[in-house]
Chains A and B, each alone.
Chain A
Amino acid sequence: MYNMVKIPAYLKPGDAIGVVCPAGYMSYEKAQVCISTMQDWGYNVKVGPNLGSTSQNYFSGTDRERLEEFQNMLDDDEIRAIFCARGGYGIGRIIDRIRFGEFKKNPKWVIGFSDVTILHAHLYSNFKIASLHAPMASAFNEEGFRNEYVLSLKNALKGAKIKYHCPAHEFNRKGEAVGELVGGNLSLLAHVTGTGSDIKTRGRILFLEDVGEYLYNVDRMMYQLLRGGKLDHLAGLIIGGFSENKDTERPYGKTAYEIIRAIVKPFPYPVCFGFPVSHQKENYALKVGLGYKLRVGKSRVTLEE
């Protein structure tokens, strides 16, 4: 039934990581700690032209500039991983012009989250190539480079097998699930529904996180996944952070977790809430597309590659 997912080669000391800005603008200073940390990890870091560019607007460069930077990194044999310095918005504008021919022959890790969810979904559903949902450059700042979440990226790049724990949440539904891991930012997953980057979720473990959304919109997006048939045949569901939610003048009356719990209530699979994948500090590196075992127990949750 399954085409095995293709896992890009893990990194060895001296391998090169390309740093790109495929979406929003980021100054070089904000990525400085991240770049030097990755050098400390033993990698060569090659920075694309859009980090700290002269762009005057939201984006790190024009569509063409962002496309070229990403395309060059994809096609450059020396680059073993492509690290997105930040998300924001913009990958959806260029994704259909990216040529994946070389990348398919010679897969490499694509790293990031938030807007980068569109790449994770696209690579998994079109090429079955694994990628890394992980902290981006700003997570390294303010001593972040020492925390276990940024270090989980370091370990993932080296090829260490993933095994994460988190405490149980009162909303969890206990059980065990085995399946390929897919997911990312809820807004982006809703947005790619019906497009060429849409993901299949049947028999898989789905993880979701989001930031800064109105609660009614969280509900609406969950309904979109539900009505698109994306929630009924999951192996398991992992709910990460839903931080900085906004509310309407008249309160919505439910928290994001209450909204999600109610929508997945009819289904039998295990569900865990509060998993450390989020727009906050708690954001473990997850290899998208690989097989995992999820155990939602009485006192703790384990996700193991």
Chain B
Amino acid sequence: MITAAATLPILSGTHEKPADKRKHIIVPPYLKPGDVIGITCPAGNITAEEIMPAVQQIESWGFRTKAGDTIGKKDFTFGGTDQERWADFQHMLDDTSISAILCARGGYGAIRIIDKLGFDKFKAKPKWIIGFSDITVIHCHVNRNMNIASIHSKMCNSFPDDWSKAEPVQVESILSIRKALAGEQMLYTAIPDPMNRTGTTEAPLVGGNLKTLETLSGTRSDLITAGKILFVEDTGEYLYSIDRMFWNLKRSGKLDTLKGLVIGGFKIKPDDPGEEFGKTIYDIVLEKVKDLGYPVCFNFPVGHQKENYALKEGISHRLEVRPDSCTLKEIK
């Protein structure tokens, strides 16, 4: 025992988690008709009425839905107290009759319950976790610690009340959730942006909301990006703040050994008068990666916008950025 203990300090320099040692991502079973999707609120609140368009649409795909106890709950901005949101999510994780967990909306709050969640049953029998924005917390936590794939996509609050009046890209975005859940091979195209850096790469896809990635830095949910294609998006942030967040990625080593970088939508909060930042999102990104050779694509259809396709986190994709085209394709 003493001998073993004495050797520990030598090993303590490697912070590799068990999840990293696994070669292959664990892919939860894709859904079949009749499978149940649980709907829960780990962050902001939503009413039972507000999830109806999503429920109807999802049931039209042949899946069943089960609304969790937090639907209709409200504790100020939260969808219930920490205890209520934790209990509902835990139930969804543990209930074997539920095949996927759809987060009803983002907002703020997942970080307040993530460390209380028990993932043992989920690890033994993985299921799809679906959402984005604040749900980036859960994607990163599950990816880093369990190496289980999840789906970054629109949530209940983005389903249109009147399907017939919805814009085609919004319809397509929502239908991409069905495709992802059904296990169809995903293929995305982005309008080639003149500022893109061309190249082709194949690697697992990870990422999400930039601000959330920054606030996970240095915690046990911190995303490991080495050897991956990273995608980021954000909304309502000042340019200076976006710049600062990219510095956090760079200075915490998250940009050094990427295979590719995908920049989604960035709805920018206008500079205050007299405080013009003087750099565009292109400048901000490209200066951070200028000495690194991997492909970079801008304006990819992911983010707080109508065109926001379902992306499978953790799954390998082929990113092809050419002068006249830009595609991301799931490797099957």
Contact = CB atoms under 8 A, between A and B. Distances in A.
Contacts of B220: 227
Interface SS majority for chain A? loop
A99 B77 CA distance: 46
Given A251-B76, A252-B77, A223 B112 contact: yes
Interface string B77-98: 1000000000000000000000
Nearest to A115: B244
A71 interface: no
B108 A195 contact: no
Nearest to B251: A195
Interface in B93-119: 107-108, 111-112, 115
A228 B251 contact: no
Contact of B218 (A96, A219, A224, A250): A224
Interface stretch (B165-173, B258-266, B270-278, B290-298): B270-278
Interface string A85-120: 000110011001000000000000000000000000
Contacts of A56: 276, 278
Given A220-B111, A250-B76, A194 B218 contact: yes
A253 B77 contact: yes
Contacts of B193: none
A163 B215 CA distance: 34
A51 to B, nearest CB: 16
B252 interface: yes
B69 interface: no
Nearest to A198: B218
B221 interface: yes
Contact of B219 (A92, A196, A217, A228): A228
A228 B111 CA distance: 12
Given A58-B276, A191-B248, A223 B111 contact: yes
B247 interface: yes
Nearest to A55: B278
B251 A223 contact: no
Interface string B214-228: 111111111000000
B75 A96 contact: no
Given A195-B252, A250-B77, A219 B108 contact: yes
A172 interface: no
B188 interface: no
B111 A193 contact: no
Nearest to B112: A223
B240 interface: yes
Interface SS majority for chain B? loop
Interface residues of A, number: 34
A250 B221 CA distance: 28
A57 interface: yes
Nearest to A216: B108
A190 interface: yes
A24 interface: yes
Given A56-B278, A216-B77, A252-B77, A193 B240 contact: no
Interface residues of B, number: 33
A242 interface: no
A227 B277 contact: no
B243 A93 contact: yes
A24 B276 CA distance: 10
B75 to A, nearest CB: 7
A221 interface: yes
Contacts of B216: 224
Interface in B140-167: none
Contacts of A248: 77
Nearest to B219: A227
A224 B115 contact: no
Contacts of A219: 108, 112
Nearest to A227: B219
Given A191-B248, A195-B248, A224 B275 contact: no
A197 interface: yes
A59 interface: yes
A219 B216 CA distance: 13
A59 B248 contact: no
Contacts of A58: 240, 271, 275-278
Nearest to A195: B251
Contacts of B245: 191
Contacts of B215: 190, 220-221, 223-224
A295 B305 CA distance: 51
Interface string A20-62: 0000100000000000000000000000000000001111000
B278 A24 contact: no
A78 B329 CA distance: 60
Given A59-B278, A96-B251, A197-B251, A89 B244 contact: yes
Given A224-B215, A253-B76, A194 B112 contact: no
A253 B74 CA distance: 11
Contacts of A191: 214, 244-245, 247-248
Interface string A185-208: 000001111111110000000000
5 contacts: A193-B217, A194-B222, A195-B248, A224-B216, A224-B219
Interface of B: 45, 75-77, 107-108, 111-112, 115, 214-222, 240-241, 243-245, 247-248, 251-252, 271, 275-279
Closest 7 CB pairs of A and B: A57-B278, A253-B76, A193-B218, A194-B217, A195-B251, A227-B219, A194-B252
